Amino acid sequence: MSDTDFDVIVIGGGQAALALAYFLRRTDLSFLLLDAEEGPGGAWRHGWNSLRLFSPATWSSIPGWMMPPVTEGYPTRNHVIDYLASYEARYRIPVERPVRVTNVERLERFLRVHAEGRYWDARTVISATGTWSNPYIPQYPGAELFAGQQLHSARYVEAAPFAGKNVLVVGGGNSGAQILAEVSKVATTTWVTPQEPLFLPDDVDGRVLFERATERWKAQQEGRVIDQPVGGLGDIVMVPPVADARKRGVLHSVRPFERFTREGVVWPDGDESAVDVVIWCTGFKPALSHLDALGVMTDDGRVAVAGTHSIAEPRLWLVGYGEWTGSASATLIGVARTARSTVSEVETFLAAAQS
């Protein structure tokens, strides 16, 4: 076997890719991770400076090795990056970086994975690129007229550059709440959400959310319908900065504006507001452009799957993109289940192909 010929190529180097590598290490399959980043950590390398998890370290770990605890509060972004880097070294995971995969080509015996001037042939490919590199910004009339600054949460670093400005924070999830809490300390902020945000009780954190997601998954597997308290992975957790924003009286939102002007926005009642900055906390879409050449993409920017297995291309799996690739699979603790089952499927598939 050559150094460009593998049983499995994993595209990605973040938490989903590392979880896959952990289980691949327990097989006899040859594999390689191709990571577009300059170093370990995946999307966590791009989180804002003050970003924290909303679960303790013991509930924020990928398979095999528990995240080291922190002395106070929940793990920071840097703590997560250090953990993933140490994890990669601990299990001697084979990874090449920076390698930005441009496309995957279908050959008779292989899938050929292309990067700038290079390629690798794989009997199977697992795409684990996540969503961070494909931020979503909704279209609003007049957006091209707006003279102020617009940035997505994917590019947000800290609040200091927005001091003294009028800032719209758009988006009702945890990132919107946390960025609003931080920016509201230095700027005049307005929080724009499609509907009233769902705030979880102060004693509910990511542990409870994952337990609920697990129960929903079990019930789905067994064909049961369960009566469960409200609380999905997108509901807002009252981490200390968000609780502080509530105490300061800034944790309230308004419904969306209708259009942009050069100087700001126009609301449904016709009032206009001057705006200097819009921070879009409006989520992400799967980063799957590297699969375009395979013809497996659906109109909604996803890939039709049975579990994590592509229906249109039997040598392709997808892990870690959200609920459509497994319950809670885009979370640190939640990806283990789909990583394990995916590697088992790949191993079975390759054994059958060789028999």
Is 223 or 11 the better-scoring residue by pLDDT? 11
In sign, the C-alpha dihedral spanning 66, 68, 72, 74 is negative
Where residue 255 falls among pLDDT bands split at 50, 70, 90? very high
Statement: residue 227 has pLDDT above 60: no
Using only the alpha carbons of the chain, give its radius of gyration: 22
Sorted by where each starts, the structural domains of the chain and their CATH numbers stand as 5-134+284-354 (3.50.50.60), 143-199+236-280 (3.50.50.60)
Q: What is the pLDDT of residue 225?
A: 61
- For residue range 280-332, list pLDDT tens digits in order: 999 999 999 999 999 999 999 999 999 999 999 999 999 999 889 988 888 89
Statement: residue 167 has pLDDT above 90: yes
Q: What is the pLDDT of residue 327?
A: 81
pTM here is 0.88
Q: Is 38 helix (H, G, I), strand (E, B) or coil?
A: coil
**By 3-state DSSP, what share of the chain in percent is helix, strand and coil, each rounded to 5?**
30, 20, 50
List the beta bridge partners of residue 33. 10, 95
Q: What is the pLDDT of residue 231?
A: 44
Query: What average pLDDT does this structure show over 7-34?
Result: 98
Q: What is the pLDDT of residue 219?
A: 54
List the beta bridge partners of residue 303. 297
Q: Tell me, what amino acid is at 151?
A: L
- For residue range 193-211, list pLDDT tens digits in order: 999 998 888 777 656 655 6
Q: What is the pLDDT of residue 220?
A: 57
Q: Tell me, what amino acid is at 335?
A: V
List the beta bridge partners of residue 180. none
Q: What is the pLDDT of residue 218?
A: 58
- For residue range 78-96, list pLDDT tens digits in order: 999 999 999 999 999 999 9
Q: What is the pLDDT of residue 289?
A: 96
Q: How far apart are CA 260 and CA 149, in angstroms?
A: 12
Copy the structure tokens of residue 347. Answer: 């191993």
What backbone torsions phi and psi does residue 251 show, to the nearest 5 degrees? -90, 60
